[in-house]
Structure 1
Amino acid sequence: MTEILSEKISRARAAISGTLIETPTLRLTSDRWRDVLPDISSGAVKLELFQQAGSFKARGAYLGISGLSAESRDKGVVAASGGNHAMAVAWAAQKLGVSAKIAIPQAADPIRIDGCRSTGAEVILCKDIVEAFAVMEESAAQEGRVMMHPFEGEHMTLGSATCGAEFVAAHPEIDMFIIPVGGGGMISGMSAAIKLARPDATVIGVEPFGADSMYRSFAAGKPVRLDKIATIADSLASPLAMPYSFSVTHRYADEIVRVEDDELLQAMRTYQDILKITAEPACAASLAALIGPLKNRAKGRHVGLIACGSNISMSRYQVLLKQK
């Protein structure tokens, strides 16, 4: 099993080479970090916000669409998302010459709606994410388009695994990785790749308290659906965990911790103050966990953070930061 997974990750890395960006990492060595970070031995952040389409999602979306049959490509793809996945699918479809239809809530950040349109995707504005998923399913049934799920599927996990493999290769000293969790597409792949290369490393996922489906799923030992979502981190606001991504995450990740929205806002400000990065809430989740619930446990460790994406308009960013 380990050998097969390793081969799949290697093939995935080859498939995206030259098209996706091997995003840079930055060591957290500036003196300005000393008053912020716990007493860690070293730290580094992988800047996946510089990825194609602005987030890690582009990796899995590209793998998924590039792996379609010629017949499926001719019919096109459809996705439902209010977040980074929408832009990733739209970008990947344009890159591969495939028609894309994106169902997106009308309340989504305008930068994401405009981003989808700019790549030539057909955008359907919906009342909410529930209606968006209904539109996606109808399009798949009536038009034969292939549904591109935002996190569930081997291609999404393998896309994230390429990110994890790059991070381990760039920083073999890291022994604690802190990874944002929405539905589980990122942490499933990253944790698998990390544990294959560094079995002794600690991999910890981080969710908002108001969208903690993976935390609750770990506690239950099976995928769990939430009754409601309440968080500013819309890119992490999955209402449920699903079988494939949950099973991979449960096998390779050590645990899931949770952070409050106020901790996300604090981490967003820290990225802006020190690195001048305009981080969306999900992008700041790893840092929020490090300076929050994991502060004591990270002492003396070599810590790896992931800045997973930053598709946020300045107007929404400013509104969020005024909350604290």
Structure 2
Amino acid sequence: MLQLEQLQQAQRLIADTLSPTPLVLDHALSDRLGRRVWLKGELFQRTGSFKTRGGLHWVRTASREELAGGLGAVSAGNHALGLAWAARQADVPVTIVMPENASAFKVEGSRSLGADVILHGDINAAWELMHRWIEERSLTLVHPYDDERIIAGQGTVGLEILEQAPEASAILCPVGGGGLIAGIGVAASALRPELALIGVEPAGAASMAHAWLHGEPARLERIDTRAKSLGAAVVGELTYPLCRAHTRELVAVDEDAIRLAMRHLVYQAKLAAEPGAAVGVAALMEDLAVLPPEGDIVVVITGGNMSREEWQECL
């Protein structure tokens, strides 16, 4: 399984290009809970989400053979942006298949970074097309979450949190396919094993809880959530055991809770977070997580990529 040393190597490898993101104190939520609540601002990262970390680490550790035929990916948006940006740094072509309901903001953003973006069906159909193109076009797949190099890159978020918040007793992390929480879990378990890592999913796409229930990754029949960045139908073969080993609790939040959390983040914390980034705050506002009795709380705010129309719909 992934080790702390791999995360530390990833941190050293990307540090010259990607700066640490800040912790922002959520005054209103801190007053409400009677303890400090810090927001890890991954929406301030390059391309507007944590995904750039894994994308850049993957590209910088790739072999010439892996890069030779170009890269391929499937994404609802943030992985597309992060990988397109990282591939452009290395002057490597990338083809990305996105579901037809993907955010227009993320589609255009990925194209502006040089990616060849194709919209195709739902997320399952997008994967089918990409697997076919990998065979036909000799593309190298860069999985959005089920890849050790991607997980190691995302895990640098955890290393930063542990350095920035020495008094933290809990981290709340959004969960889609599981790459971020897997990486943070490796860091936290190695460096601060007493810390409670809590995963938060949208109730309409609770694929990690579904895997926990079945004892292995199992595909959801239906995805129904405005938190498209967390809309993975199935978690990874790598991310599932890492999450199971290092996560203390999983909770699910409904759509109304996500919307209210977004409003809180915009109007109280002054952070323009997308729906998938707001689920941790939603869990705190709904009192869903079992928190340690003392210590600071850190909530990972994973991204902030939305169009004006999407903002109007959500707020």
The TM-score bracket by the shorter chain reads over 0.9
Task: State the AA in 2 paired with 1:161.
Answer: G
Which runs of structure 2 are paired with 1:235-250 in the superposition (5 Å)?
235-250=229-244
Q: Who is 2:142 aligned against?
A: 148
Q: Who is 2:127 aligned against?
A: 133
Which runs of structure 2 are paired with 1:65-80 in the superposition (5 Å)?
65-80=59-74
Q: Who is 2:273 aligned against?
A: 279
Q: Who is 2:192 aligned against?
A: 198
The Cα of 1:210 is off from its aligned counterpart by 1.0
| Alpha carbons 2:198, 2:289 under 8 Å: kept | no
* 1:264 and 2:262 matched: no
Which whole-Å CA distance do the structure 2 matches of 1:174 and 1:76 have between them? 42
Q: Who is 2:167 aligned against?
A: 173
Which whole-Å CA distance do the structure 1 matches of 2:33 and 2:218 have between them? 33
Which whole-Å CA distance do the structure 2 matches of 1:130 and 1:223 have between them? 15
Match of 1:24 among 22, 31, 52: 22
Which runs of structure 2 are paired with 1:117-128 in the superposition (5 Å)?
117-128=111-122
TM-score by length of 2: 0.95
> Could you say what secondary structure the match of 1:7 adopts?
helix
Distance 1:250 1:208, change over 3 A: same
Q: Who is 2:216 aligned against?
A: 222
Q: Who is 2:34 aligned against?
A: 39
| Alpha carbons 1:39, 1:300 under 8 Å: kept | no
Task: State the AA in 1 paired with 2:34.
Answer: D
TM-score by length of 1: 0.92
Which runs of structure 2 are paired with 1:43-62 in the superposition (5 Å)?
43-62=37-56
Which whole-Å CA distance do the structure 2 matches of 1:73 and 1:27 have between them? 41
Which runs of structure 2 are paired with 1:205-216 in the superposition (5 Å)?
205-216=199-210
The Cα of 1:43 is off from its aligned counterpart by 1.8
> Could you say what secondary structure the match of 2:3 adopts?
helix
The Cα of 1:20 is off from its aligned counterpart by 1.7
The Cα of 1:79 is off from its aligned counterpart by 0.8
Q: Who is 2:227 aligned against?
A: 233
Task: State the AA in 2 paired with 1:278.
Answer: A
Q: Who is 2:13 aligned against?
A: 15
Q: Who is 1:6 aligned against?
A: 4
* 1:108 and 2:97 matched: no
The Cα of 1:137 is off from its aligned counterpart by 1.4
Task: State the AA in 1 paired with 2:184.
Answer: M
> Could you say what secondary structure the match of 1:120 adopts?
coil
| Alpha carbons 1:179, 1:203 under 8 Å: kept | yes
Q: Percent identity?
A: 34
Task: State the AA in 2 paired with 1:6.
Answer: L
- Deviation per CA, 1:277-308, whole angstroms, max 9, x where unpaired? 22111111111111113367466441011100
Which whole-Å CA distance do the structure 2 matches of 1:71 and 1:10 have between them? 25
Which whole-Å CA distance do the structure 2 matches of 1:224 and 1:14 have between them? 35
Which whole-Å CA distance do the structure 2 matches of 1:105 and 1:294 have between them? 31
Over 6 Å off, 4+ runs: none
- Deviation per CA, 1:218-253, whole angstroms, max 9, x where unpaired? 233322221111111111111112221001111111
Which whole-Å CA distance do the structure 1 matches of 2:19 and 2:206 have between them? 30
> Could you say what secondary structure the match of 2:226 adopts?
coil
| Alpha carbons 1:38, 1:299 under 8 Å: kept | no
> Could you say what secondary structure the match of 1:176 adopts?
strand
Which whole-Å CA distance do the structure 1 matches of 2:225 and 2:248 have between them? 24
Q: Who is 1:313 aligned against?
A: 307
| Alpha carbons 1:77, 1:147 under 8 Å: kept | yes
> Could you say what secondary structure the match of 1:205 adopts?
strand
Task: State the AA in 1 paired with 2:13.
Answer: A
Task: State the AA in 1 paired with 2:150.
Answer: M
Distance 1:34 1:48, change over 3 A: closer
